Structure 1
Amino acid sequence: MDDNLTFEQWYQDLTAKEQEMMRRGCRILLSRTFLIKAKERELFGFFARNTSHMETYFAPMGYTMFLERDYGIIMLRDRQEEKVEAQETAAVNKKIFSIRESVIYCALAWIFMDRMGSSLDRAIPIRPDVLTRTLEQFGIGAGFRTEFNKTQIADALKSLQRFSLVEVKGTLGDEECVLVLYPTLLFGLDLKSMEKLISQKKDSYLAYFAGAPAGSESDQETEADEASDEEGSEDFE
């Protein structure tokens, strides 16, 4: 495609299939921030080939489209500096995760970094018990051992899955269940942020995952939920 064309000229030159790919890719980026080569190879290729025109498309919304070829990721970023200069209202592209979601996010990211090797853009499948062992290394002791913990962790994974950070294939507790980890895990929180998160929030995690018997709610759990909404949550961007 010719980068000298205006966006309107470029769009008119697209085939019907390409126009549909653009619309579908934009919906994905606006709803979950990321396009992943390992998951949406054709869409990733289209957007990677047409970066300048897609930048033009997203600019009025307050976003910059960022292409990370090595990791096979395209993501939207908030144009904070430009908005400050123009005194515009920021289009915030963030998700505030609860304590439970934040610690599971960090555990999955650590697993991904440990296993990614030289192929940075690949998805990494793991068994759920790998996540269990990693949580135990954090000193949390949570896992899929009781229905109570399994349900809570399943809910957290469902939230992370909405942003293409992980994909749950199957049902937790089933022998065939697999968690697919994506390189996007490395772009929500950097390594220093993860270390800070674990060190600062460990007591909250311990309290949260201490939990009550299956089917009941303790005062401790309720307090942890309130903390996650008010001061224990983390920004994802």
Structure 2
Amino acid sequence: MKRQVLLLISIFCLSSAIGQVSYSIPEEMAKGSLVGNIAQDLGLDVKRLKTGKGRIYTGDSVQYIELNKERGVLLVKEKIDREVLCRQTTPCALHFQITLENPLELFPVTVEITDTNDNAPVFQKQERRFEISESAVIGSKFMLEKAIDPDIGQNGLQRYTLKPSENFVLKLHTQADGSKKVEMILQKPLDREKQEHISLVLTAEDGGEPQMTGTMHIHVTVLDATTMPLFSVNPFTKRALQKTPQ
């Protein structure tokens, strides 16, 4: 029994070294799309796929690719969403084997799934409101939410713009995970008498073709510097203050 197991392992390793085939396809290809001519690339006769009961073995993973034994080709069985399959992991690839019987042959196959620009940057909130005193000093910072884009590389989030940019500018800080913290910084004094409300648009852009964007609207209310906040006094606190000897 032990010798049979060792023989099976030897056959597997030998066929793995000889028959390695790799393909690369973009995500979101339609069901039935051609991945590659596996019979030709492995140097097999199409008849061998039939007589050897050729099939795809994926282990426990979902089978996204199917084998057409009549044509000797691999086809897309289910539309593949790279972001669902691999999230931010790169490269993103499917690994499986073509198995044949009589004699036993195993051929490892790798299909890399490349990213397409199918997601626009998205802000979790569509609006953000600030109340800022006209006495706020130049350089005052206001944190903004960052956009999220599940695409990777050039298709992922690349830059932010803020318009109009008369009173505020953007400053980005790169985080340890590669994302960017977004700050809005006051660069020009506010004047309530001239402009009580300021409307801004923060735009997140990716680098794909065609380019995709997401926006968040920012509303700033300018407060009068001479207005002092009013505090209500608890009745019990008021009586205690009245009883306090002067």
TM range (shorter): under 0.3
More helix by percentage = 1
Length-normalised TM-score, structure 1: 0.23
Please tell me whether Structure 1 or Structure 2 has the larger radius of gyration of its CA atoms: 2
Length-normalised TM-score, structure 2: 0.22
Which structure has more RCO (C-alpha within 8 Å, separation ≥ 6)? 1
